[in-house]
Structure 1
Amino acid sequence: MSLSVELIRFLASVHPYDTLTEAELGALAEHCSLAEMSAGQQVFGVGDVVEYLYLLVAGEVEVFDEVGAPLSFLGPRNSFGERAILRGTHASRTAIVFADAAMIRIPAATLNALIAQHPAVARFFDRTGRAQPAKRDLATMAVEGLMTRDPVVCPPDSTIREAASKMYAQRISSICIAQDGAFQGIVTLRDMNGKVVVEGADPTADVATIMTRAPLTLGPKALVTDVLHLMVERGIGHVPIAEGETLVGIVTQTDLTRAQAMTSADLVGRVSKAQDAAQMARATAEIPQLLVQLISSGSRHEVVTRLITDIADTATRRLLALAEAELGAPPVPYLWLACGSQGRQEQTGVSDQDNCLILSDDVTEADMPYFEALARFVCDGLNTIGYVYCPGDMMATNPRWRQPLSVWRSYFDGWIAKPNPEAQMLASVMFDLRPIGGDTSLFDGLQAETLRKASANSIFVAHMVANSLKHYPPLGLLRGLATIRAGEHRNQLDMKHNGVVPITDLGRIYALQGQLAPVNTRARLEAAMEAGVLSVTGGADLLDAYDLIATMRLEDQVSQIKAGDAPDNYLDPATLSDFERSHLRDAFVVVKTMQSAAGSGKGALS
């Protein structure tokens, strides 16, 4: 039965139906109906086939999860039921009328047709961006979609002339060196010209004598933009693609010429060539506009934060190079690492710096002033270009975080053995370490060793779980949104500390429990599901919640930038539609539920 004129007007006042033309609304109304239900009646339950999307006109409905815990309390203009429809699954929730209600029912087939035909409707019902059509650009394309597969190879005992003949015959600018399936190195036309033509290497010598050994590689799941950034920063034209020791492909500048360049690569290039921090700052000042462009183009949040973090990584390595140029070669090997959002590759439009130095155990007291000066040079430079000093002094300029490898091992051992509040806090930060520049061998084995020791200490794990629950989602009475009560950000939501941080903390706990190597939050959740540390159902819900919260945080920062303001992490829920507020609340409830499971000792699989 078609809707009345009054109900059609109501439908037209609710987003996204307000984007439809009068004729489209009329056609939609022909398929809809009105349902009236009394308090206490069940609309659908766990396991039911959900046949309609329900839009509340009047009354209230409460939604419960599969174990009966309340999830949402919905009023007029809110809708529910789309979760099962869009996933093509039976209901995993129960909806019960709390106060006598009138609901417009939109059939599942009609909703799916609307989503397929109207981009505005599709965007509205897919806040995570999963329903958006795949775009063939450098931001979203995996390397495996662009790389040359089965690259030309030769064994290391081939002669230089034989290798050159293969390159000439295949009309290629590089050849990979491999033995028994193990990738060993690469020889390019530049090597042939420089080492053979100019320097006079013997053409009958083994090609291994002129190859670049253990060159930089990426995996097939890396982004094409990662390749472009690597090429621009390091001044190379070929990036082998490998899985472990096995060569699976190669990406060259010719391959990239066929793809569309991105502005993030432009910034990486300018930063990598800057002669000082002031020149670098002119490039990093464009990061807010880059954020606007990336979000406006529909890039997913984890891609956006990866690209923005790439710029910070490049800036750090460039500052290290400039520091060495001024101070001279380091007296012993060192490794600069990032923690915090840079370590997790999750930087947004507003980020401070969190970093540290691991020094070779060969370092002496006489060497320490060099590394103090190096740390000061880099941290001051990062502050100049927009990555402000860490308020908690978690930086390499602090002598505590500029120590030999043996001291770092003792730090982790001490935190694990005596997990007092400070140890819990520090361990949480340091579990997010990621090497940025220097001798990466100083980090080899440290992460795995630490995870192994930490996961084996049940007391430490319990303390870390408790510490992770100190950040909680902003939920109030009846699971409504609880805004900040006073101060500069009164009536707003802190989308960092009460939004993404609780999920980041959970991801770190799952990584600890499963001894998982990833540092990025989304990668940790996915790895936890694959390892069985996190249930498929719980993991899918938590990923959806994370995608929603992280995306809304970035979108709000973009709105602030467009308004001419500096971006921050505070969102006014009054700027959201009823639907957006409802789903944001649902996302926070999911996080709260997973925190409760972790805190109860039942584990992520409960």
Structure 2
Amino acid sequence: MVVDFLITSPPFDLLTDSDLHRVAQNIEVQYYRKGHICGHSTLGGLRIIRSGAIDIRSEDDRLLNRMGEGESYNLEALFAEYPDAIVRLYEDSLLYTLPDDIYQQIITRNRDFARYYERQVNRRLRRAARYTPEPHNLMRRVSAHMSRDLLVLNPQTSIKEAAALMSDKRVSSAPVVEQNKLRGIVTDRDFRSRVIAKGLDYERPVSDIMTQQLITLSENSTLFDATLTMVKAKIHHLPIVAQQDKDSLVGIVTASDLMLVKQDDPVYVVQHIGRATNTESMKHVVDGMPQMMVEWINAGIKVAQISHFLTAISDAVTKRLIELAIEKFGPAPVAFCWLGFGSQGRAEQLVNADQDNGLVIDNSATPEQLTYFSRLAKFVCDGLNECGYVYCPGKIMAMTDEWRQPLSIWQQTVSKWAQSPTPDAVMRVSIFFDIRAIYGESALCDQLQEHMLKTASSNSIFLAALADNVLSQTPPLGIFRRFLVERNGEHKDSLDLKKRGVIPIIDMMRIHALANNIKAVNTKERLQALVEAKVMTVKDSRNMQDAYDFIMQTRAEAQAATIDKEGIEAVSNYVDPDNLPEHHRHHLKDAFEVVNNAQNTIRLRYRGGI
């Protein structure tokens, strides 16, 4: 039955019963032989593939897209997406054709149905990747909650007058502005600690007591960003500045503005961890993360923000363990920096993350002083393991001698990897080059990253070896866009979304970043930087971001469902596509196709170094 076939094929599941039957009653059946070309002469209406497949090819015969059974297209929209394309039947095919007059009536009544065919792959995937049922309160813009009616002081205002004005206005802080530029902030605490406690003359200018080294956020930041910033910096007043002008004050957020944030939100988890006195109390908090992730998914929070939350929590655990280690072993003898690699380095962690970390130490350290860092690293890595961030199976941890070195040794190691890109070296690079300072002297991390980028960007052989690694994992799509699932084993009939979807995207953005000396590590930030460097077009960058978001969202939702039903122990990166709604499977195929096309670019651009 035509209706039975249509209802399983998106976007016909969006139609009312009456419209669905109207479509079925007006379907025309046409059979075409392999090689038939669909031209511009009959653009209207819809073509629905009942059996067979079509190719969309460029003028130079490069495959742009392939559609199979159950997929439909509007030629006018296709040619808008691919202006110079040739639409050719890949094999003998049976097509359902819906006349243009009926198609126009349907899309007039159903905007969602119409949108499906507008920029068929790109826009459809973008809507799927960005749909959010209801934004969580933490994800609201800080600009919607900040105070705008501010008492603004001049640097020459006297301390006495400033106190009187603040008292009259009943405010606990006042920004200091000169020539429309934010110069500082004065708070009640400043009057107590810098005026009364020190017996300072009340007639002195307020510039003498204001805080000048300000921590600010832009107006486009979220409440999560604001709250986390205030907790980390231990401040109660946060100036908000214009997105395009960091000296232009637009408002202030105070601790009282954020009191409505629920106690189970991640910023309070971070705050609680920061006060922990032992590993056990941190473990108790971290044990609740899987269920919290389920709640965030159910609340409609997008996976990019969830991974931001979870990374902030793992950062907080790491920092507190280092502080406890310093309390136990004493202050560090020389400067050091704790490094986060992999998903923690990119700030893209989900649940069940293992450890990937290292330690870079100032070159002045003596052999005796290096022993201190060995004890510190073991204390921290053991603590992370107790808190659920299990030991790295490949021993990529600061407690391993190789991953705890002075800066100069690290730099030598990176040079050696680049000069001799063995499979083992390439594997290590894939983790190590996603690097971020977690605690300590961040300049050491910066110097290491600068050496890393300089070494990689100038070595075409090394980039070619990385490209081979990037291309070793292809998206699980076969001919006619059919999913290639596991054939046996525990995950039979399932897709590994991390290995075959997420990792290829991360790897591709990393090699582009390394080749072009781009410091960004987070995947989204790399995509933006690659556009700014004109390495990628805006369109390709957006498509890749949407593909990454959709695959990650599918992965996170599957993990949350598993946690809810079976517990954290059963969580994996696999999903059975048959358990996904039809439209979701279709979007997933779109995402994998974007990845596949991007890998072709990697092949052409970097493998020449071989």
TM-score (norm 1): 0.84
> Partner residue of 2:2?
7
- The answer for unaligned runs of 5 or more in structure 2 is none
Q: Match for 1:594: what amino acid?
A: A
Aligned-pair distance for 1:151? 6.5
Q: Match for 1:344: what amino acid?
A: R
Q: Could you say what secondary structure the match of 2:52 adopts?
A: strand
Q: Match for 1:574: what amino acid?
A: D
Coordinate RMSD, CA, aligned? 3.9
Aligned-pair distance for 1:502? 0.4
Q: Which is further off, 253-262 or 501-510?
A: 253-262
Cα gap change, 1:170/1:418 in structure 2, threshold over 3 Å: closer, same or farther?
farther
Task: Please give the alpha-carbon distance, in whole angstroms, between the structure 2 residues aligned to 1:341 and 1:109.
Answer: 49
Cα pair 2:341 2:356 within 8 Å, conserved: yes
Q: Could you tell me which of 549, 552, 555 is aligned with 2:551?
A: 549
Alignment of 1:28-427 (within 5 A): 28-30=20-22, 33-37=26-30, 38-40=32-34, 52=45, 54-56=47-49, 58-64=50-56, 66=58, 68-70=61-63, 74-80=67-73, 84=77, 95-97=87-89, 98-103=91-96, 105=98, 107=103, 110-111=106-107, 114=110, 116=112, 129=128, 132=131, 135=134, 137-148=136-147, 159-161=158-160, 163-165=162-164, 167-168=166-167, 170-176=169-175, 185-205=184-204, 207=206, 210-212=209-211, 214-241=213-240, 246=247, 248-249=249-250, 250-257=252-259, 263-427=265-429
Aligned-pair distance for 1:341? 0.6
Task: Please give the alpha-carbon distance, in whole angstroms, between the structure 1 residues aligned to 2:75 and 2:487.
Answer: 33
Alignment deviations for residues 190-222 of structure 1 (CA, whole Å, 9 cap, x no partner):
232233334544434565554445344444443
Task: Please give the alpha-carbon distance, in whole angstroms, between the structure 1 residues aligned to 2:63 and 2:117.
Answer: 28
> Partner residue of 2:603?
599
Q: Which is further off, 145-154 or 483-492?
A: 145-154
Q: Could you tell me which of 463, 482, 485 is aligned with 2:465?
A: 463
> Partner residue of 2:584?
580
Q: Match for 2:131: what amino acid?
A: Q
Q: Could you tell me which of 472, 483, 500 is aligned with 1:481?
A: 483
Q: Could you say what secondary structure the match of 1:410 adopts?
A: helix
Task: Please give the alpha-carbon distance, in whole angstroms, between the structure 1 residues aligned to 2:300 and 2:394.
Answer: 35
Cα gap change, 1:245/1:73 in structure 2, threshold over 3 Å: closer, same or farther?
closer
> Partner residue of 1:589?
593
Q: Match for 1:192: what amino acid?
A: F
Task: Please give the alpha-carbon distance, in whole angstroms, between the structure 1 residues aligned to 2:126 and 2:13.
Answer: 18
- The answer for unaligned runs of 5 or more in structure 1 is 1-5
Alignment deviations for residues 306-363 of structure 1 (CA, whole Å, 9 cap, x no partner):
1221111122122222222222222223221211111111111221111112223332
Aligned-pair distance for 1:83? 12
Cα pair 1:72 1:585 within 8 Å, conserved: no
Alignment deviations for residues 164-212 of structure 1 (CA, whole Å, 9 cap, x no partner):
4554455432234567777665432223223333454443456555444
Q: Could you say what secondary structure the match of 2:363 adopts?
A: coil
Cα gap change, 1:486/1:555 in structure 2, threshold over 3 Å: closer, same or farther?
same
Q: Match for 2:194: what amino acid?
A: K
Cα gap change, 1:81/1:311 in structure 2, threshold over 3 Å: closer, same or farther?
farther
> Partner residue of 1:27?
19
Q: Could you say what secondary structure the match of 1:601 adopts?
A: helix
Aligned-pair distance for 1:17? 5.1
Q: Could you say what secondary structure the match of 2:566 adopts?
A: coil
Task: Please give the alpha-carbon distance, in whole angstroms, between the structure 2 residues aligned to 1:419 and 1:492.
Answer: 33
Q: Which is further off, 102-111 or 529-538?
A: 102-111
Task: Please give the alpha-carbon distance, in whole angstroms, between the structure 1 residues aligned to 2:606 and 2:234.
Answer: 51
Task: Please give the alpha-carbon distance, in whole angstroms, between the structure 1 residues aligned to 2:518 and 2:414.
Answer: 17
Q: Could you say what secondary structure the match of 1:596 adopts?
A: helix
Cα pair 1:71 1:589 within 8 Å, conserved: no
Percent identity, please: 33
Cα pair 1:64 1:95 within 8 Å, conserved: yes
Q: Match for 1:172: what amino acid?
A: V
Cα pair 1:159 1:203 within 8 Å, conserved: yes
Q: Could you say what secondary structure the match of 1:357 adopts?
A: strand
> Partner residue of 1:3?
none
Q: Could you say what secondary structure the match of 1:347 adopts?
A: coil
Alignment deviations for residues 250-305 of structure 1 (CA, whole Å, 9 cap, x no partner):
43224334777873334333333333222222222222222222222332221221
Cα gap change, 1:232/1:115 in structure 2, threshold over 3 Å: closer, same or farther?
farther
Q: Which is further off, 459-468 or 34-43?
A: 34-43
Q: Could you say what secondary structure the match of 2:235 adopts?
A: coil
Task: Please give the alpha-carbon distance, in whole angstroms, between the structure 1 residues aligned to 2:588 and 2:378.
Answer: 42
> Partner residue of 2:566?
564
Q: Which is further off, 402-411 or 164-173?
A: 164-173
Q: Which is further off, 368-377 or 499-508?
A: 368-377
Cα gap change, 1:220/1:127 in structure 2, threshold over 3 Å: closer, same or farther?
same
Alignment deviations for residues 56-105 of structure 1 (CA, whole Å, 9 cap, x no partner):
4x2122243546444665444344459958x9856686554433323364
Aligned-pair distance for 1:384? 1.4
Q: Could you say what secondary structure the match of 2:394 adopts?
A: coil
Cα pair 1:34 1:102 within 8 Å, conserved: no
Task: Please give the alpha-carbon distance, in whole angstroms, between the structure 1 residues aligned to 2:74 and 2:512.
Answer: 30
Cα pair 1:483 1:492 within 8 Å, conserved: yes
Alignment deviations for residues 558-601 of structure 1 (CA, whole Å, 9 cap, x no partner):
22122224321111222234443343233223212211221122
Q: Could you say what secondary structure the match of 1:26 adopts?
A: helix
Q: Match for 2:103: what amino acid?
A: P
> Partner residue of 1:434?
436
TM-score (norm 2): 0.84
Task: Please give the alpha-carbon distance, in whole angstroms, between the structure 1 residues aligned to 2:226 and 2:392.
Answer: 30
Cα pair 2:154 2:177 within 8 Å, conserved: yes
Q: Which is further off, 412-421 or 399-408?
A: 412-421
Q: Could you tell me which of 506, 509, 516 is aligned with 1:507?
A: 509
Q: Could you say what secondary structure the match of 1:563 adopts?
A: helix
Cα pair 1:285 1:385 within 8 Å, conserved: yes
Cα pair 2:176 2:183 within 8 Å, conserved: yes
Q: Could you say what secondary structure the match of 1:489 adopts?
A: coil
Cα gap change, 1:96/1:288 in structure 2, threshold over 3 Å: closer, same or farther?
farther
Task: Please give the alpha-carbon distance, in whole angstroms, between the structure 1 residues aligned to 2:88 and 2:514.
Answer: 39
Cα gap change, 1:117/1:595 in structure 2, threshold over 3 Å: closer, same or farther?
closer
Cα gap change, 1:541/1:15 in structure 2, threshold over 3 Å: closer, same or farther?
closer
Task: Please give the alpha-carbon distance, in whole angstroms, between the structure 1 residues aligned to 2:237 and 2:344.
Answer: 26
